[in-house]
Amino acid sequence: MCYGVPSVQRRTDESSPNGGCPEIYTAVNASCSCLTTGYSDTDTWEFHITLRTDEGSESYPTTLTSSDVLAIDSIRTLIVPSNLTALRIRGEGTYPQTITFVPQDQSLPGSTLPVADVEDGSIAITTVSLENIDMSSITQTASTFYPSTTLNITLRNCNVIKFGYDFFDGLDSVQYLDMSSNHLTAAYVGSSIAHSCANQFCAVEVLNLTNNSISTFPSVVFNVDNLQELYIAKNDIIDFNISSTVFSAIQALAAFDSDIPDESATCTDGTWQTAHNRKFCVTDGTTTTTDTSGGSNSLVIGLVAGGGAVVIVVVALVAWRYFLRKKDRRMSSSKNDFYSQEFGDTLDFDDTQVQVDPVFLNDPVIITNRLDHKLLKMGKCLSKGGFGLVFMGEYKGRRVAIKKIRPDRSVTAAEIEMFLKEIIMMAVLYHPRIVEFVGVAWDNLRHLSAVTEFMDNGDLRDVLYGYKSKGERLSWESHKATIALHIAEALSYLHGLKPKIIHRDLKSKNVLLNMYLEAKLSDFGIARMRYLVETHMTAGVGTSFWIAPEVLLGRDYDEAADIYSFGVVLSEIDTDDYPFWNDKNKSNRGKIQEAEILSLVAEGKKRPSFSEDCPKAILDLADCCLHNNPENRPTAAEIVVILEHMIHASERSSSSLQSGVWSVTTSDEGITE
């Protein structure tokens, strides 16, 4: 478009095109500004940008220079010359600029979103610097963002909270990493195993984590063999107790900066030592230990001989420690009573006997998202399931939900590894309709906790039942259609990922609502990624009445199984009751009748019921979702479009949803409007 130099493209109906675009763009009122001076015959492109505001009828110049501040609202993948080695983009202003990134090639799979690419030849970019741009969403949803040739990365003051698993995909030689002035709670670099590296930053030499929200000293970074400089000042670290191995690694660095311990800090289990003008409490190998055999007697004799005052101090110290232990037991008694009443003496098992595969604990996602367990406060139990317990809690003043393994199940490595897999799955999902993952915490494996946002109204099942019991049933027009849309949006996100994720346990209990009755999907305990090359998914998962016929029959299945479950959830939303077993269909025959129902479902002879006043549009949609042939069910993305159309049509109409302003019909091909 601009003969090898970048351009700014604008489209507006409020002013005439500036004539700087090819005719195909001019025809749709587009204006183009070619960035000439400063972008030709150079190996570096540098941009200064700001968020575009309402510009009215302002005319656009046909050319701009590198000194101009570009008013934009999005950055499309930059097609760069093959000799370009550095790309720098800086947002102007006090706060990070809210700029979106979009791919140049709309056909790229899933969340693939490269910041730069070349049209011909090989890309040569080694430096990518982004400053003062809001990247909070992009870093969690985009994949393969950086060219594989990137050696130097700067993400400074970009409002970064955490990274999705694939954001750095393709990198393996990064040497310089500056993630300063963000909101990271953990270092993404390193491993808990010495001389071991499990992510894309095995070659990092300079790491800058200044001015973040890290609360635990990031000792894991010292297991990156090439590290030469580390900057971690202006974080939330208050505990500077480190091992002698870590202290030696700090001494060996060419440059190091951190905050200093508080003046009141003590070092009872080690000795204070200094490196790079910073003081640390160095433990193991520096602490004098007391022999518990014959030597201990001579120590006591020496203290007594020295005077009774010392004995009084020692006795007082022992008494004080006893008091603290007793106080701690009282503070946690209510929590422990709950456990003991439910599960007996399982609290006393020794978790050190459980050997969990280190691959899980050293997963970059776990390392990056680990929280300080001491800052996690646990309140009352909110729900109990077959696998876990969910508690109300608090982390750094924020109300959160805390999921833990039931104590009677956490004694095996398999149960813990299953929970870690779920946590890893939760951590890489980021969407407004997915319950937000806050982090993972533990002081020992028995206390392994997944921390998520707190949803004030609990699960959809309880909300529907609660309003029904009060005689204040929610209507499709007021809330139910929007709740259904939110669930569909979550499924559309999961099914659109590469590889796509199948939830496999969609039901009203796994849909949570906030104070505004906005819905978010939760519980990914049995979710599964499906790759195109995968030939068969495991059968027999998901709660029975929500399971698709093909799954019940043990056949191969895909994301269409989630769509069937969505159809069952539509029945729950409509009737405010469970499917099959409910107020209208009571039974005391238990598992026998359940088996009979599931047999009929598998044969396509039985579906969940709907109310007599259910809108026809919902009935038609449910009919499509519950189709016995998975190929005839709509996709989640199609459901989103249809529900949005229904809601918008309803808003434009003064009549109810039953007025026929929106409906769908089934066909052999699936679903049509």
Active site residues: 505
DSSP category for residue 223? G
Contacts made by residues 27-32, CB under 8 angstroms, sequence distance 24+: 31/60, 32/1, 32/2, 32/7, 32/8, 32/60, 32/62
SS3 (DSSP) at 666: strand
The type of residue at 384 is K
DSSP 538: P
Complete edge-to-edge strand list for the sheet that includes strand 7-11: 7-11, 30-35, 63-64
Mind giving me the DSSP string for 449-511? EEEEE--TT-BHHHHHHHHHHTT----IIIIIHHHHHHHHHHHHHHHHSSSEEE-S--SGGGE
Short-list 81, 76, 70, CA closest to 44: 81
Kindly report whether the peptide bond that precedes residue 499 is cis, defined as omega within 30 degrees of 0. Answer: yes
| Burial of 505: CB neighbours in 10 Å, binned 0-12, 13-18, 19+ | buried
Distance of alpha carbon 284 from alpha carbon 460, whole angstroms: 51
Q: In what order do the strands lie in the sheet with 388-395?
A: 376-384, 388-395, 398-405, 449-453, 437-441
Q: Report the interhelical angle of 560-575 vs 616-625 (nearest 10°).
A: 150
Q: Which two tokens stand for residue 237?
A: 């670290």
- Of 181, 259, 186, 272, which is closest to residue 221 (Cα–Cα)? 186
Tally of CB atoms within 10 A around 662: 23
| DSSP assigned state of 133 | B
d(CA 195, CA 205) in angstroms, rounded, equals 14
Neighbour-count burial for 216-254, b at 16+ CB within 10 Å, e otherwise: bbbbbbbbbeebeebbbbbbebeebbbbbebbebbeeee
Q: Which tokens go with 598?
A: 């599931």
Residue with tokens 């000795």: 271
Residue 347 backbone phi and psi in degrees, to 5: -65, -20
Kind plus residue range of the DSSP H or E element containing 671 = strand 670-672
C-alpha distances (whole Å) from 441 to each of 337, 342, 367 are 22, 23, 10
Q: Give the tokens for residue 616.
A: 């026809």
Tell me, letter by letter, the H, E, C secondary structure of 381-446.
Answer: EEEECCCEEEEEEEECCEEEEEEEECCCCCCCHHHHHHHHHHHHHHHCCCCCCECCEEEEECCCHH
The dihedrals phi and psi of 490, each to the nearest 5 degrees, come to -65, -45
For residue 372, give both structure tokens: 């300080």
